[in-house]
Structure formats: structure tokens, C-alpha cells
């Protein structure tokens, strides 16, 4: 997932520090996520989609679908079979499972 976040940041022509400022998180948080040390929390993902409404969260989390949301993208994502389930926990962590 951290690789897709890197791709997203690059697609917006941002540096990691300006990305952190834009979504309102600590720069160290971005550094830890991009290095793969930490997984992004639900709060982090929420801040991303709040700041970038064209971001396809399904693509960020699972790699499925398109990077950007569009009417066509929504239709094609909904018609796909479930390949991965993401379980969210109370501590804002999550785990990716393959059904």
C-alpha cells in the first residue's frame, strides 16, 4: 500500500512534506508510512480522501480499480468480484485478508 501512496503523491507533483501539510498529518507519519514501517490508520486514509476527493480509496488499500474516481471507474469497481477483505479494528489499525 505504501507504494501506491508514493505513486499518488508523485501523481500530484508533491513532496512528502507538502503532502503531509496538505492532509494535516505529521511529516514523520508520512515518512514512516512511505518507508513501509507503519501502515496508515483509518484517520490517515480519511484525511487523504477528504483532501483529495478524486482519490480512489479502493485502489490505495487493495490495488484494485483505478487511481482516480470517475463514474466509469465506480461502475467497473462495483462489478468486480471480491478479491481482498480489509478488516478495520477499534485501534484504527486494519488488516488485509484474502477470502
pLDDT > 80? residue 9:
yes
End-to-end Cα distance, the chain = 18
What's the pLDDT tens digit per position in 12-45?
Answer: 899 999 999 999 999 999 999 999 999 999 889 9
**Beta strands 85-88 and 94-97, pairing class:** antiparallel
Residue ranges of domains in the chain: 2-97
CATH 1.10.3720.10 fits 2-97, yes or no: no
Q: What is the pTM of this model?
A: 0.66
pLDDT (average), residues 62-82:
60
Distance (Å, whole) CA 65 – CA 11 = 16
pLDDT > 80? residue 10:
yes
Helices vs. strands in the chain: H and E counts, helices first: 6, 2
Amino acid at each position: 500500500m505504501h507504494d501506491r501512496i508514493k505513486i499518488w503523491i508523485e501523481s500530484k507533483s508533491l513532496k512528502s512534506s507538502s503532502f503531509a501539510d496538505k492532509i494535516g498529518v505529521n511529516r514523520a507519519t508520512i515518512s514512516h508510512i512511505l518507508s513501509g514501517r507503519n501502515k496508515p490508520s483509518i484517520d490517515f486514509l480519511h484525511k487523504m480522501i477528504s483532501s483529495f476527493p478524486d482519490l480512489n480509496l479502493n485502489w490505495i488499500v487493495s490495488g484494485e480499480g483505478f487511481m482516480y474516481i470517475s463514474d466509469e471507474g465506480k461502475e467497473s469497481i462495483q462489478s468486480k468480484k471480491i478479491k481482498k477483505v480489509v478488516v478495520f479494528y477499534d485501534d484504527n489499525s486494519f488488516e488485509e485478508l484474502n477470502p
